[in-house]
Structure 1
Amino acid sequence: MCGIAGQLSASGSPGELQASLTKMMTAIRHRGPDGDGIWLDEQRPVALGHVRLAIIDPEHGKQPMVTEDGRFIVVFNGAIYNYLELRRELIGKGHPIHSYSDTEVLLYAYREWGENFLTRLHGMFAFAIWDKAEQKMFCARDRVGIKPLYYCFDGQRLLFASEIKAILAHDSVRAQSNSEGLQDYLTFQFCLDDKTLFKGINKLEPGYCMSAWYQGNELKLKTRQYWDVQYNIDEEHDERYFIDTLSGLLDDSIRLHMRSDVPLGAHLSGGLDSSSIVCLASRMLGGEQMKTFTGAFNEGPQFDETAYAKEVSSFAGTAYNEVYISGNDLPDMLPRLMHYMDEPLAGPGVIPQYYVSKLASEHVKVVMGGQGGDELFIGYARYMAAYLEKCLSGAINQTANQSRFAVSLESIVPNLPLLGTYQPMLQGLWRDGLFGPPDERYFRLVDRSEGMNQLFNLDALRGNSNYSPFESFQRIFNRSELHSLVNQMTYFDLKGSLPALLHVEDRTSMANSIESRVPLLDHRIVEFLATIPPNIKFSGGRVKHLFKESVRSAVPAAIFDRKDKMGFPTPLTQWTKGVARDFVRDTLLSDRARQRGLYNVSAVEKALSNEREYGRIVWGLLCLELWHRIFIDGDMKPSGV
C-alpha cells in the first residue's frame, strides 16, 4: 500500500520536474513512510514518484520499478492477491522476475499481455506505467474503486496522484470549488461519475483506465471503461447452488486477502459482515491468533456494540482490542480528518473508522474489513422500503405476476418488521406520493438534501451551472438490462455510495499508514451475484439472505440472529449540542463563514438547535465549511497533521 504521483508535460526541465514531484510526494507522505523514489525520463518531461508502505516482499519492492530492459516503469498503489499464480506463469514465459513483489509481477504482466492484463488481476490497484518506446503512459484503477487515482489535465500537462492534495501541491494548480460537485455533495454527500469538489480535478472512475501520449509536442488523453458488472441471469440453478458457490468464493477471497509478509488483523464491529470475515479467516490460520479491533462510544448502549464484538472474538479465538471515542476531541480531530479526506464524503462514520484504524496501526500493518456487504448482499432497509412500495403497487393494480423476477407482497410480509425503526423514512418517502417511476422513488430514498437547500444561497452554490444531480442519477439507475428494481438499486449503490465509503476506508487507513483490505469486494463475488435471479437474491425481501446462508455455520448464533445491527452510529448530535457545541457554532456562525456568501445564516442557526438524532444536516454543513477553510482558503495543514 502506497502513494503514487506523476507528471507529463509539454515542456519542463528535469530540475523543475524533480522539485514539483517532491512537493506532491511530501503531501502524501503518510501513505508511505517506509521509503520513496522518483524516476525521470531522459527524453521527455515525464516524472513518476512513489511513497511506500512495505507489505509484500518488503526487501525488494522499491518503486518506481523498471523492467530489466529499461522500457517500462511503474508506480503502483494496492495489492495483487493472485501475484504468486501470475508470477509462476510469467516466469514460465521467460520473464526475468527475481523478487516476490507483486509490483514486479504487475510490471511484467503488462509487458506480456498489454492492457488486456487488467482482466487477469485479482486485487485492489491504482497504477501508472510509462512505456519509453511508445512514449505513452497507461493508468488504471481497480474494478470497484478500492484504491483512488485523481488527475488534472489542461492539454499541456497531466498531473495524477493517489490524493487530491498532492495535485494541489503542484505550483500550477489552484484550488477552486466545482459547482456541479457541490450540488452532488448536497444531494448524496458524495460526487457521481468522475467529478470531485475541485474544479479541473477529476477522479479516474472504478473499472476505468487512462492513456496519455505525446503527439508532437502536444499531450493527448483518453479514458475508457474496461470493466462493468454484467447481469447475465442464471436460470439453470437453484438457491442451494448459489449459496454453495458463494460460500466457496468467500473462502477463496479471504484466503487470497490474507497473503501478507507483515502482521495482519481485522476490524470487528459485531455485525454480520466483519464477524464473518473474522470467523472465516480465523479458521484458516491453523491455530495462529488474529488481532481484531473494535470502536465504541460512551454516550449510551445504542452507540456500543462491544458486547457482540467480544462474543465474536471469543468464538473465533482472536486477540481483542477496543477503543472508546470521545467527542471532546472533535475540534482538533475533524479538521485533521478533512485534510486527510480531501473531500467531505459520506457520514460521521468516518470518525470511528479513523480511530479504529489508529488503534490497529499500533499492532499490525494490514487490516481486513467488511466494507461492501450491505451494497452487495442487499443489506440496507431502504431496499425493503422501495420493494414494499413496488409490491403494494403490484397487489393493488394486479400486476405483480407480470414481472419475470417479481417479489410478491405476500412473500415480504414476514420480513416487514425490519422497517419498524424506519417509519420516519417511510413517511418521508410517501409524503410526496406513491407508485411513481422507480428512478424517482429510489432517488427520494438516497437524496439527503431535504432540510439542506434552505440553508444555502443556491444561486451562489450553483453559479452558472444548470446541472441536475437527478439526471446523473438516472443515467446510472436506468442502465439497460438490469432486469429488476433490486438490481437497479444495488447497481447505483455500487457506482455511487460504495466508492464514497471506500474513499473513507482508504483515507482513514492511509492516514494511519496501514493497508486496509476488503475481501467481500473480490470482483468474482460481485460478478457472481449479478447472475443470481433477483427473486432468489432478494427472496421474500430478506436482507442478506444468501450471504447469511453461506456463512451460517461459521459465525456464532448471536450474530447470525441479530435484529439490532447499528451500522456504527456516531453520537454526533449529542456532541454538537454538548461538548463540541462551541466549536460547531464558532465554525458555522463565524464572520468567515458569513462572508463566504454560501449560507443562509439565520436558517443555519435554527438547524443547529433543531438537529434530530442521527441527522446529517449539521454534519454536512460542518464538513463543507472546514473543507472550504482547509483547501479553498488555503489553510492546507490543520494542527497535528
Structure 2
Amino acid sequence: MCGIAGIVAVSGTPESMRGSVMKMMDAIRHRGPDGEGTWLDPARPVALGHRRLAIIDPEHGKQPMTTEDGRYTIVFNGAIYNYLELRRELIGRGHPLHNYSDTEVLLYAFREWGERCVDRLIGMFAFAIWDRLEQRLFCARDRIGIKPFYYHFDGQKLGFASEIKALFADGSLKAESNSDGLQDYLTFQFCLNEKTLFKGVQKLEPGYHLSAWYEGSQLKIKTSQYWDLQYNIDERHDERYFVDNLAALIEDSVRMHLRSDVPLGAHLSGGLDSSAVVCLASRMLGGEQLKTFTGAFHEGPQFDETGHAKAVSAFAGTDYNEVYIPGSELADLLPKLMHFMDEPLAGPGLIPQYYVSRLAGEQVKVVLGGQGGDELFVGYARYMAAYLEKCLSGAINETANQHRYAVSLESIIPNLSLLKTYQPMLQGLWREGLFASTDQRYFRLIDRSEGMSHLFNPDAFDKGYSPFESYQKIFNREGLHSLVNQMTYFDLKGSLPALLHVEDRTSMAASIESRVPLLDHRIVEFMATIPPNIKFAGGRMKHLFKESVRNAVPQSIFERKDKMGFPTPLTQWTKGVARDFVRDTLLSERARSRGLYNAQSVEKALNSESEFGRVVWGLLCMELWHRNFIDGDLQPGGI
C-alpha cells in the first residue's frame, strides 16, 4: 500500500522533472512513511515517484522497480494477493524473480503477458509501467476501484497520482471547480464515471487502463475498459449450490487477504459483514490472536454497536480495542479530513472511520474490513423499498408474472418488517411519481438533491448537464435482467467507489493498509451469475451471504435485524457542541460571497435538519472543500 505519482511530458529538463515529482510525493507522504524513490528516463522527460508503506517483503520491495534488462519500470499502489501463485508460474516461465514482493511479481507479469496481465491479478491495484524500448506508459486500476488513480492531461504533459492534491503540488495546474462534478455531488454525494470535482482532473475508472505514447513531437493518451461485470445467469443450479460456492469463495478470499509480513488486524462493527470477516480470519490465523478495532458514540444506543462487537470478539477470540468518538473535535478535524479526502464523497461515516483507522494504526499496519457486503449481497433497505413498490404495481396491474425474474408481493410480505424504521423514506418516495418508470423510482431513493437544490443559486451551475441522464446510462445498461441487478450494478459503479474512496483516504491518513476481502472480483462475478429470484428471494436481504457464513458467526449476529451501518450523531453535534463551527462556516461572509448559496435557505436548513439528514453534511463538506482547495487553505501534514 503506497502512493504513486508520475509525469510524462513533451519537454522538460531532468532537474525540473525530478523537482516536480518530488513535490507530488511530498503532497502524499502520509501514504508511504517507510520510504520514497524516484526514477527518470535518460532519453525522455519521464519521471516516476513512489511513497512506500512496506507490507509484503519489507526488505526488498522498494520502488520504483526496474526489470533486470532495464526495459520496464513500475510504480505500484495496492496488494496482489495471489502473488505467490503468480511468482511460481513466472519463475517456471524463465523470469528472474529474486524476492518475494508482489511488486516484482506484477512487474514481471507485465513483461510476460503485457496489458492482459490485469486478467491474472487477484487484488487491489493502481500502477504505472514505463516501457523504455517502446517509449510507452501503461497504467491500470483494479476492477472494483479499491485503489485510486487520478490524472491530468493538457496535450503537452500527463500527470498522474494516487491523490488529486499531488497534481497541484508543483503549481503547474490550478485547482478549479468542475460544474458537472458539483452537480453530481449535490445529487448523489459522489461523482459518476471519470468526473471529479476539479476541472481538468479525471479519475481512471475501475476496470480501465490508460496508455500514453509519443507520436513525433506530440504526446497521445487513450483509456479503455478491460473489465465490466457480466450477468451471465446460471439457471442450472439450486440455492444450495450457490450458498456452498459463495462460502468457499469467501473463505479463499479471506485466506489470501491474510498474506502480510507485518502486524494485521480488522475493523469490527458488530454487523454481519465485518463479523464474518473477523470470525473467518481469526479461525484461519490459529494461535495468532487477531486485533480488532471498533468505534462508537456516547450520544445514545442508536449510535453504539459495541455490545455486538464485543460478542463477536469473544466468540472469535480476538484482542478487542475500541474508541468513542467526540463531537467536540469536529471543528478541528473536519477541515483536515477534507484535505485528505480531496473530494467530499459519501456521508459522515468518514468521521468514525478515520478514528477507528487511527486507533488501528497505533498497533498494526494492515486491517481487514467488511466493505462491499451491502452492494454485493443486497443489504440496503432501499432495495426492499424499491421492490415493494414494484410488487404493488405488479399486483394492481396484474403484470407480476410477466417478468422472468419477478418477485411477488406475497413472497416479500414476511420480510416487510425490515422497513419498520424506514417509514419516512417510504413517505418521501411515494409522495409523488408512484409507479413511474423503474429508473425514475430508484433515482428518487438515492437522490440527495431534493433537500439541497433550493439552497443553491440556480445560475451557479452549467445547464447543459443532467446527473439523471448519466445515472440512466448506468442503471439501464443492457443485460442486467432484473431490478435487483440494476440497483446493485449502479451502486457498484456509483456509491461503492465513493465508500472505497473514504476507506482509502481514512486508512492512508493513518498510514495503514485497508483490505476488503468481500470485494474479491471472483465473489463479485459469482454473485452476478445467481438468478435474481434466488439472490433476492422474497426480499430476504443478504440471504445467500447469511447462509454462507451461518456456521462462522455467533448466532446473535446471524439473527440480528437491527441493521445500523455505523450511524453518526452529526445532527446532534451540529445543533450542540459543533453548532458555532457549523454556523460560522456556512453563514460566513466568505460562504455568502461565493454566489453558490442562498443564505436564508441555508439558515433554515440548519434549524430543521432531521436526525439522520444529510443536507447540512453536504453543505459543510462543500464549503470546507472550497476553502481547502479552491481558496488555497491547504491543510498539509497529519491529523
Q: TM-score range by the shorter chain?
A: over 0.9
Where 2:62 maps in the other structure, the secondary structure is coil
1:4 corresponding residue in structure 2: 4
Q: Shift of the alpha carbon at 1:640?
A: 5.5
1:512 corresponding residue in structure 2: 510
Q: Shift of the alpha carbon at 1:183?
A: 0.1
Q: Shift of the alpha carbon at 1:458?
A: 2.1
* In structure 1, C-alpha distance between the alignment counterparts of 2:377 and 2:50, rounded to whole Å: 36
Equivalent residue runs for 1:177-188 within 5 Å: 177-188=177-188
Equivalent residue runs for 1:312-331 within 5 Å: 312-331=312-331
1:165 corresponding residue in structure 2: 165
2:47 corresponding residue in structure 1: 47
* Pair 483,287 (structure 1): closer, same or farther in 2 beyond 3 Å: same
> Please, what TM-score do these two structures have when normalized by structure 1?
0.99
Where 1:401 maps in the other structure, the secondary structure is coil
Amino acid paired to 1:546: L
Where 2:147 maps in the other structure, the secondary structure is coil
Instruction: Check the 8 A contact 1:630/1:638 in 2, yes or no.
Output: no
1:557 corresponding residue in structure 2: 555
Equivalent residue runs for 1:351-362 within 5 Å: 351-362=351-362
1:521 corresponding residue in structure 2: 519
Deviations 1:554-599 (CA, angstroms, capped at 9, x unpaired): 1001111111121100000000000000100110111111111111
* In structure 2, C-alpha distance between the alignment counterparts of 1:171 and 1:187, rounded to whole Å: 31
Instruction: Check the 8 A contact 2:184/2:190 in 1, yes or no.
Output: yes
> Unmatched 5+ residue regions in structure 1?
none
Instruction: Check the 8 A contact 1:332/1:639 in 2, yes or no.
Output: no
2:263 corresponding residue in structure 1: 263
* In structure 2, C-alpha distance between the alignment counterparts of 1:401 and 1:573, rounded to whole Å: 44
Residue among 569, 581, 589 paired with 2:579 = 581
1:618 corresponding residue in structure 2: 616
1:290 corresponding residue in structure 2: 290
* In structure 2, C-alpha distance between the alignment counterparts of 1:604 and 1:142, rounded to whole Å: 40
Instruction: Check the 8 A contact 1:293/1:322 in 2, yes or no.
Output: yes
Amino acid paired to 1:378: V
Where 1:516 maps in the other structure, the secondary structure is strand
1:98 corresponding residue in structure 2: 98
* Pair 229,640 (structure 1): closer, same or farther in 2 beyond 3 Å: closer
Deviations 1:64-97 (CA, angstroms, capped at 9, x unpaired): 0000000000000000000000000000111000
Instruction: Check the 8 A contact 2:352/2:568 in 1, yes or no.
Output: yes
1:596 corresponding residue in structure 2: 594
Amino acid paired to 2:500: L
2:37 corresponding residue in structure 1: 37
* In structure 2, C-alpha distance between the alignment counterparts of 1:536 and 1:508, rounded to whole Å: 36
Q: Shift of the alpha carbon at 1:386?
A: 0.4
Instruction: Check the 8 A contact 2:294/2:322 in 1, yes or no.
Output: yes
Q: Shift of the alpha carbon at 1:401?
A: 1.1
* In structure 2, C-alpha distance between the alignment counterparts of 1:91 and 1:272, rounded to whole Å: 40
* In structure 2, C-alpha distance between the alignment counterparts of 1:211 and 1:173, rounded to whole Å: 21
* In structure 1, C-alpha distance between the alignment counterparts of 2:271 and 2:327, rounded to whole Å: 23
Amino acid paired to 1:383: Y
Instruction: Check the 8 A contact 1:369/1:519 in 2, yes or no.
Output: yes
Amino acid paired to 2:237: H
* In structure 1, C-alpha distance between the alignment counterparts of 2:637 and 2:38, rounded to whole Å: 28
Superposition misfits of 4+ residues, deviation over 3 angstroms? 638-641
Amino acid paired to 1:146: I
1:442 corresponding residue in structure 2: 442
Q: Shift of the alpha carbon at 1:298?
A: 0.4
Q: Shift of the alpha carbon at 1:285?
A: 1.0
2:412 corresponding residue in structure 1: 412
Q: Shift of the alpha carbon at 1:496?
A: 0.2
* In structure 2, C-alpha distance between the alignment counterparts of 1:440 and 1:46, rounded to whole Å: 47
Residue among 560, 564, 567 paired with 2:565 = 567
* In structure 1, C-alpha distance between the alignment counterparts of 2:36 and 2:635, rounded to whole Å: 21
1:234 corresponding residue in structure 2: 234
> Unmatched 5+ residue regions in structure 2?
none
Q: Shift of the alpha carbon at 1:315?
A: 0.2
Q: Shift of the alpha carbon at 1:217?
A: 1.4
Residue among 532, 536, 543 paired with 1:534 = 532
Amino acid paired to 1:536: I
Residues 1:427 and 2:427 are matched in the alignment: yes
* In structure 1, C-alpha distance between the alignment counterparts of 2:298 and 2:231, rounded to whole Å: 44
* In structure 2, C-alpha distance between the alignment counterparts of 1:483 and 1:168, rounded to whole Å: 43
Deviations 1:171-222 (CA, angstroms, capped at 9, x unpaired): 2100000000000000000000000000000000000000000111111000
* In structure 2, C-alpha distance between the alignment counterparts of 1:458 and 1:36, rounded to whole Å: 46
Where 1:383 maps in the other structure, the secondary structure is helix
Q: Shift of the alpha carbon at 1:433?
A: 2.5
Amino acid paired to 1:104: E
Amino acid paired to 2:168: L
Deviations 1:3-30 (CA, angstroms, capped at 9, x unpaired): 0000011000000001111110000000
* In structure 1, C-alpha distance between the alignment counterparts of 2:18 and 2:489, rounded to whole Å: 42
Of all paired residues, the percent bearing the same amino acid is: 78
Where 1:402 maps in the other structure, the secondary structure is coil
* In structure 1, C-alpha distance between the alignment counterparts of 2:389 and 2:584, rounded to whole Å: 43
Deviations 1:461-501 (CA, angstroms, capped at 9, x unpaired): x14x4100000000000000100000000000000000000
Deviations 1:366-418 (CA, angstroms, capped at 9, x unpaired): 00000000000000000000000111111111111111111111000000000
2:545 corresponding residue in structure 1: 547
* Pair 233,639 (structure 1): closer, same or farther in 2 beyond 3 Å: closer
> Please, what TM-score do these two structures have when normalized by structure 2?
0.99
Equivalent residue runs for 1:1-80 within 5 Å: 1-80=1-80
Where 1:86 maps in the other structure, the secondary structure is helix
Residues 1:494 and 2:492 are matched in the alignment: yes
